[in-house]
Amino acid sequence: MPPPSLRGRKPLLAAEDWWRKGFFDPEFYSPADPAHLAHAPREARFAARALRLRQGTALLDLCCGPGRHALLFARRGARVTGVDYSIPYLLEGRRRARRAGQTVRFLRGDMRALAFDTEFDAAVNLYTSFGYFSRQADDLRVLRGVRRALKPGGLFLLDFMHRDWLLSHFSTRDWHAQDDGWLLEERELDAAKRMVTTRRIRLFSDGRELRRDFRVRLYGRREISVLLRRAGLRPLRFWGDFRGSPLSKDTNRLIVLSQRP
């Protein structure tokens, strides 16, 4: 049974730049844990097909984390550049690349301030690494930066939590057993701002407790299409999961392929 509810919880009020404040620390949240790594090959295969990756393709992996997809793309012969804000993730990605004998360029950066100009044939942003900012204008800055980074005709695959599915399956609290303790997730939905804030509380078996907030803007097909077009990208196709299912209110992912004209 889960441990009892925590007392004295503070309201879920994520700081302006919550993503700077320790959430993306491997001890708290690791995109290279066994569960994430188990799904990565299927996700990378789907992305490779959608983007028509081939030997020598210059690929930008935006918000690459510790490189669980980047290394798989490199194994397929792509020339991969991974960009992330988390120094621990980048260091782990470089270690993993050395061990795997793969060449990946890992760079630190803010996704709103990409410095690339017509460098890439394709780009990816996977696993809800989008919509982190309180101002939608910053999401638009991200997409405009991706457009600049792509060569004319370049393709961009964007994947995040599907708003329509989340609204119909919204849960305010979940417990998850983990090897080293428990994870509690508490959520608040701001329907007016279309934002959801999640407080993740890790209770370790040694008695330690870590709390971090995660906030993301929610998008449906129409809203993300409008934003992509404003950024100068043309939406081409939509899917609801990495098996290639059609997007619907019953699919929990929104995966969109767009192109720089």
Per-residue confidence (pLDDT) for residue 55, from 0 to 100 = 96
- Structural domain range at position 186: 165-216
Which of 159, 156, 163, 161 is closest to 234 using CA atoms?
Answer: 156
Q: List C-alpha distances in Å: 243 to 20, 44, 228.
A: 33, 11, 23
Both 43 and 69 in a single domain? Answer: yes
DSSP state, residue 18:
G
pLDDT digit string (tens) for 110-136?
Answer: 999 999 999 999 999 999 999 999 899
Retrieve residue 42's tokens: 């299927």
- DSSP-based three-state secondary structure for 220: coil
In a domain, 142, yes or no: yes
The domain spanning residue 46 has which CATH number? Answer: 3.40.50.150
The helix/strand/coil state of 171 is coil
Same domain, 143 and 175: no
Predicted pLDDT of residue 16: 67
Question: Are 195 and 109 found together in one domain?
Answer: no
Are both 55 and 100 inside the same structural domain? Answer: yes
| 6 is a domain residue | no
Same domain, 122 and 101: yes
Q: ∠ CA 226-230-234 to the nearest 5 degrees?
A: 75
The answer on 141 and 67 residing in a single domain is yes
Residues 210 and 235 in one domain: no
Residues 157 and 81 in one domain: yes
Tens-place pLDDT, residues 42-67: 999 999 999 999 999 999 999 999 99
Q: Are residues 108 and 171 in the same domain?
A: no
How many Å apart are CA 31 and CA 39, to the nearest integer?
11
Is residue 127 situated within a structural domain?
yes
Give the total number of structural domains in the chain: 2
Regarding pTM above 0.85, the answer is yes
Domain assignment of residue 13, yes or no: no
DSSP 3-state of 20: helix
CA distances from 190 to 10, 162, 218, 254 (A): 17, 16, 10, 20
Statement to judge: residues 109 and 194 lie in one domain: no
**Residue 17 resides in a domain:** no
What is the per-residue pLDDT across 59-89, written as a single tens digit (0 to 9) for each? 999 999 999 999 999 999 999 999 999 999 9
To the nearest 10 degrees (0 to 180), the angle between helices 136-149 and 221-230 is 60
Give the type of residue at 196: V
